[in-house]
Amino acid sequence: MSSGTNNIKPDLLKAVSKIAKKEGISENQALNDIIEKGIEKSEQKIPDYLIANKNRKPNSERKKRMAGIVKGCKPFNAVELVREVRRGI
């Protein structure tokens, strides 16, 4: 980290001072708490309900057995198929 000066808006410093007085802690501690809470909120967390099979461990043998199980009737060009869908054909 750089040891340069930080330019913090005076109204923010007043708000931190009020919070520190209200909670009975130092301004530095109040500022550190606010920053930590902000960092925790900004970290992207995937909700548990969106994680499929979160309790299952990956099984590479199962993946190898499943590879090639589905076969198409005839080869096709995926790029051309997407273009046709986009054109509405």
pLDDT digits (tens, 9 = 90+) for 32-49: 999 998 888 877 777 777
Q: How distant is the alpha carbon of residue 43 from its chain centre?
A: 6
Global confidence as pTM: 0.43
pLDDT digits (tens, 9 = 90+) for 1-35: 455 567 888 898 899 999 999 999 999 999 999 99
The answer to whether 16 and 31 have CB atoms below 8 angstroms apart is yes
pLDDT digits (tens, 9 = 90+) for 60-73: 787 777 777 777 77
